[in-house]
Structure 1
């Protein structure tokens, strides 16, 4: 009796050993991968960067696959852990169908990870193809990156549907039957798409440009297949259909090569003729010497007799067009004019009124 009991215990221990050891091993591998998966992926990507170091966009492309690789490595470790558990438990036959399902699921995860990585890598790949080491139009990179992403999503969806077992030919036939209806329903989207292509080809503006249309003014933040996003100076985002922009009059202020400054400067009526001439010559001279003023177009002249001043017309162009830099140039020029007029003892006029009292021979200012 004791011998039979002892044999049963030994048999049970052997069975548990056969099950526990592989299960613990599989669980240990699973936990190790889950804990160190990010470091493992970064190590692999670091090696790839060193091998492809001569390729300028290699670093950005490799970084694009970091999160997708972590995702796939997690799915692979879970798949491995479940497989080890079933085989350790001696459930090879029972688990065969389930493992087939898991294998398909793993393939779908691989497809999603590759698509995800390629979508992330689309901008640096397009930039590398468009310009290499040259300065690349940011608008082209953004626009074509979006097109590449849409194409990748469609291809991945078709592959996943085929992997599931759905009849692709039937799906394509169904799409063909409904194509006309979809085309009629999406005519506005198609016009916006062609409008976007016209914007890309004609290049009336680019991302980060300051533009003005009859309806709004702001900075372009994004150009998509359907619309263009513009950030107004009130910090509101306006989404404009590409077809509308393509048919609108557009003023691109960012493409100014220089920016105009024009104003009148009034001097007091008591300014002598010689001082007036000295003031115009001196202001013209300081404008010609200013590093941020275009020396080819400078006008400083005695323009007219104003209501309370002798008015000088000052007209020049600042070579810096960005708003902040432009305002700094204006301020610097104005301060130099003030200092110069003070140095030659010429006063700037201000509004005055003459009041005549009852005695016509007396007046006050």
Structure 2
């Protein structure tokens, strides 16, 4: 970690400091250094908020015109910065304390009375440096991991402005891959100071990956299918889709599966391999939504009144701003068993359930009122049943006026 912080120079400075303290008082050396170490740690703990604000003030000067971005950076870096500040404080605390053994400083033993006399500098300075190296790597990986969400949002917003770049699913998937790479790489660098042959570990990870491909074949197929879904883009997050017997809104697409929230608020988790081979209907891709229903009229309705009603229904649909013009149809569709069926069909630009239901309800109420104003009778399913005895009784009355008991 010498490229990030010169531990040699810091160690030399601390060694000189220790020698000065030793020259002042070797008898109380332990208590003096321990008190200074505790004071240093308490100071760093109290100043951690100030350190965070100082760093954020630098970002504020660089991005005064992007308050949202600054807030996201603040959220992403707040905890890692405070953590690293405390790590620096802990490093200096250990350096100052009597417990760390420096190469060129022979610290006196702790002597209490005549019975207690032992060395307290039992922590090698190289071990302290290695721990700080790991803490630094953890800090960097932590910052990068939290920053991925910022880059993800920026790319999604930028992609939404350009059709060719609009692929929120692929961006989210790449963000997850980046997070995984950061975690794996960060772990390797974190443990590297404590392992002499880090190359062997990397090689072992590679061989383990080859073995994993044979063991987790289905999982890899799901991951590859997920990549196909990202590139092909049959849907996006929050889209309303339907496939097989599943219908709902897409909540998330992960490495292995896709989460769909159904209209009954159930959560369906579908492996990407199954989803990629299914016939998917993306209802959110509709440019407009059709509304169609049948209006049943009595058979004794006058033909001219039906013709007038068709014209009035068309004029009514034209008067609605939420109904697309020149897309509606009103016509006598069928001679049903119990009624004359008028078909009324139109399109609305509202795709979502709330807007669609509102338009449909308003139009239905207006059609009901117009139907009553025109004096049309809405037919109901009816059925005439003639019993055999009653039919013979009616026939006898018609022929002779007498009833045969």
Deviation at 1:103, TM superposition (A): 2.3
| Rg comparison, structure with higher value | 2
Q: Deviations over 1:151-187 (max 9, x none)?
A: 1112112212322233122223334544542221132
Q: Deviations over 1:46-96 (max 9, x none)?
A: 431332335674542343111111222233333333333328995699537
> Are 1:85 and 2:97 an aligned pair?
yes
Taking the aligned partners of 1:88 and 1:169, their CA distance within structure 2 comes to 30
Corresponding position of 1:114? 140
Normalised by the length of structure 2, the TM-score is 0.76
Taking the aligned partners of 1:34 and 1:133, their CA distance within structure 2 comes to 43
* Shift >6 Å, 4+ stretches: 13-18
Matched-pair contact (CA < 8 Å) for 1:61–1:125 = no
| 1:178–1:151 distance in 2 versus 1, CA, 3 Å | closer
Would you say how many aligned residue pairs link Structure 1 and Structure 2?
350
The answer to which of 274-283 and 88-97 deviates more is 88-97
> Are 1:260 and 2:290 an aligned pair?
yes
Corresponding position of 2:380? 350
Taking the aligned partners of 2:108 and 2:284, their CA distance within structure 1 comes to 70
Structure 1, unpaired ranges of 5+: 1-12
Deviation at 1:252, TM superposition (A): 0.8
Deviation at 1:133, TM superposition (A): 8.1
Normalised by the length of structure 1, the TM-score is 0.83
| 1:180–1:155 distance in 2 versus 1, CA, 3 Å | closer
Structure 2, unpaired ranges of 5+: 1-23, 102-106, 110-118, 399-405
Deviation at 1:286, TM superposition (A): 1.4
Matched-pair contact (CA < 8 Å) for 2:297–2:379 = yes
| 1:103–1:247 distance in 2 versus 1, CA, 3 Å | same
Taking the aligned partners of 1:260 and 1:162, their CA distance within structure 2 comes to 62
Matched-pair contact (CA < 8 Å) for 1:127–1:141 = no
Corresponding position of 1:61? 73
- Select 1:173's aligned residue among 203, 212, 221: 203
Corresponding position of 1:34? 45
| 1:228–1:133 distance in 2 versus 1, CA, 3 Å | closer
Corresponding position of 2:170? 140
The 5-angstrom pairing of residues 203-222 of structure 1 reads 203-222=233-252
CA RMSD of aligned residues (A): 3.2
Taking the aligned partners of 1:160 and 1:91, their CA distance within structure 2 comes to 34
> Are 1:155 and 2:182 an aligned pair?
no
